[in-house]
Each structure stands twice: as structure tokens, then as C-alpha cells.
Structure 1
Amino acid sequence: MSELTGKVALVTGGSRGIGAAVAKRLAASGATVALTYVQAEDRAKEVVKEIEADGGTAVALRSDLTEPEAAAAAVEQTVREFGRLDIVVNNAGFLTYGPLEQVSAEELDRVLAVDVRSVFLTAQAASRHLGEGGRIISVGSCFNGHVPGGNFVLQATAKSALVGLTKGLARELGPRGITATIVDPGPIDTDMNPADGETAEFQSGITALGRYGVAEDIAAAVVFLAGPGGRYITGTSIAVDGGYTV
């Protein structure tokens, strides 16, 4: 029996990159998975097909997390589909960088809506269904611990907000046996931040290992926290960043 057999997981932003890797790794560990997407319906359905081809169960749900009610709706739809909810992975977000003076109010609102508001509302809705052993895992950023230069103020602002949110969730939900944690990726090779992109050499150079990681590195950490190994870990962040913050 796999360590997550019988569990139901919701992964936001699960159609590509880190989210897709997390969804597939959770399913391979025995969980039933609901994953959300905004526009990439074909890619989301392909992730579902891959999970089903390997004997797992999954469903893709369209959810635009810039819409105020979308996060709670995704939680409720997951529970209607599978009857329960045990694991929430808040992965959806934007990789945004650029000079401070070029950040518009609209861009600020959009990033905070997905990276902060939706996480809060997802956790709020999920708390009504999570029981003993429940997990809320958010994908943060290495910028929580190390802002290497200019142009990252919006990203650092949004992801750092997850720290206080996660500590608050850990305290409030801990008495019910529910944990809340963050996985902070460093430079990860995805289509949002490719290992051959314009800032790749700079990012790789900051890491202790001198290279990018892959989405499966983050997925492995998420599944560890979701399983028995994560039962006494809460209110904290785990860096999976190749030594970016050393």
C-alpha cells in the first residue's frame, strides 16, 4: 500500500511545471488528485491522462484564482467529486520580476490575488473539511529568505506573505492535527523559468550547487510533507533551492 492511499489532494495550478509534477507524484503515492487550471485545459487533461494511465484517479477543474470565489469553489468541487479532502497544495502563482517603478497597481493586485488571497481563501474553505492528519502545503519561493538584487520586490512581497499566513494556520489548525508548511523552490527548470532563460546564468550562479533543479525535486518534498514524514512539521518553510539561500 502506498503511503497516501485513501487520501484526496487538491493541487492548484496543476497543469504544468511544478504543479503537474506534484499532482503526478501525489497520485503515484496513492492519493486521488484534483488539479486546477486556468487556460491550459489540454495540458491539464494530459496530466490527468498520465495519472490514469499509471492506475491513479484524477480530475481537472477550471479555476481562475484571480476571481474572489474561485478558491473556495475549487475546494467544494473537490469534496463533491471525491467525498473528502486531506491535502491541499497551493501551487498556483506568477513568477514576476522587474523594476519597482514599472510595477502597476493592476499587476500588484493580480499577483496578490493569486499568491496570497487565494491561498488564504483555499485554506479557509479547506479547514471545514480537513481532519486529523490534514495538510496545507504552499509553494513559496527562495526569495522569502534571500532577495539577491533589484527587480524582485513584487515576487518577494507576495511570497513572504505566505510565511505569516502559514504560521497563523499552523497555530489555529494544529489542535485539530492539521499541519501547514511551505516549500520554497530555488531556480527550477520550468517553462516559467527555463534553465536556458535570460536570467538563468545569474540564478544558477547564486546556488551552492551551481545549477537549476527540476520540478520533481519540489514534488518529492511536497509528498514527503503530505505523508507520515511530515506529521510533526508545521509552521515552517523548507528550502529546496540547491543552496540558493546559503
Structure 2
Amino acid sequence: MTSFHGKSVLVLGGSRGIGAAIVRRFAMDGAKVVFTYLSSPDDAQELATETGSRALRADSGDRDALIALINSLGPLDVLVVNSGILGAGDPLTMPPDAIDRLFRINTHAPYHAAVAAARTMPDGGRIIFIGSANADRMPMSGLEHNLI
């Protein structure tokens, strides 16, 4: 296994589930980890305390704030884009604002975050995107409509 001692890591969407496991692993391997959360401050604080990482409340759907956050952290050795939301329902009746938010977080944020990080990332840096099995397998009715 590779040591990440002294490496700077940002995990977007890191307070729960897969994101929290990613934060724990990078911290265990010696990285200086910052992670974002939006709706789970208690989980985020608990994880930050457990791992010695830093939790920042941030909305990946706010492009300008996301870019400013990445720029404020200086060069990153690793960016992990794990934030994402689920939108389900009939596209004929779903609110347009909900669809716009879904695209801002799931499509636009990974692009803008990667570009912002890449601008100052040192040689050997890595950008990791966490996807979803729901991109090609639908576990419940209503999700398939979002692929239109």
C-alpha cells in the first residue's frame, strides 16, 4: 500500500457511507484530509474528530463556492468527488429546479472541481470520481425516467 503521509486530500461528500470510508482510509495512510458535507453536521464532526481531518460545510451545487473552496486549500495531491444526489420521478412532472440541482451536483460539480484542482495539482496528483451503479442498473421504478 502507498503511504499518503503529508499529502493533501479533498473528499467532496465525505461525511457518510463511502465518502466516510474514503476519509478514514486516507487519514489512516497519513494524508492531511479535508472533506465536505452538506446535510449531516453531526456525522461530519464525529468523523473529523475520529480521523483528525477537517470537515467543511459546502454545497457542491454552488459552482462559485466550490471553486473558491478548492482554490482556498492550495495544491491538492488527491481530489475525490463523491458528492451526489438522487432524483427520481416522472420527468413530465418533476420540478425543473430539482432537475437543475441534480445536474449541478452530479455533472457540473465534478467537472468544475476537477478543473479547479488540476490547475494547481502537482505532478503525480490524482482525481477520483465515485459513480453509481444506478447509471446502468435501476433498483426501483422511477429512476429510469431520469436517463431521458
TM over 0.5: yes
Q: How does 1:198-213 map to 2 (within 5 A)?
A: none
Q: How does 1:212-231 map to 2 (within 5 A)?
A: none
Residues 9, 86 of structure 1: 8 Å contact kept: yes
The normalised TM-score by structure 2 is 0.87
Residues 87, 98 of structure 2: 8 Å contact kept: no
**Unaligned residue ranges in structure 2 (runs of 5+):** none
- Residue 59 (str. 1) matches residue 54 (str. 2): yes
Aligned to 1:96: 87
Residues 93, 115 of structure 1: 8 Å contact kept: yes
- Residue 15 (str. 1) matches residue 44 (str. 2): no
Return the offset for 1:147: 4.2
- Partner secondary structure for residue 100 of structure 1: coil
Query: What letter matches 1:130 in structure 2?
Result: M
Return the offset for 1:69: 0.7
Residues 100, 151 of structure 1: 8 Å contact kept: no
- Partner secondary structure for residue 92 of structure 1: coil
The structure, 1 or 2, with the larger RCO (C-alpha pairs under 8 Å, 6+ apart) is 2
- Residue 140 (str. 1) matches residue 135 (str. 2): no
Which whole-Å deviations, capped at 9, do the CAs of 1:44-85 have from their partners, x for residues lacking one?
111110102xxxxx2111211222212212212222xxxx31
Structure 1 segments of 4+ aligned residues over 4 angstroms from their partners: 147-150, 154-157
Cα distance in 1 for partners of 2:66, 2:17 equals 20
Query: Over aligned residues, Cα RMSD in angstroms?
Result: 2.2
Instruction: Sort the Cα spacing of 1:48 and 1:127 in 2 relative to 1 into closer, same or farther, 3 A.
Output: same
Cα distance in 2 for partners of 1:145, 1:36 equals 27
- Partner secondary structure for residue 96 of structure 1: coil
Q: How does 1:86-235 map to 2 (within 5 A)?
A: 86-147=77-138, 150-153=141-144, 156=147
- Residue 72 (str. 1) matches residue 84 (str. 2): no
Aligned to 1:26: 26
The normalised TM-score by structure 1 is 0.55
Aligned to 1:244: none
Aligned to 1:42: 42
Number of aligned residue pairs:
148
**Unaligned residue ranges in structure 1 (runs of 5+):** 53-57, 158-246
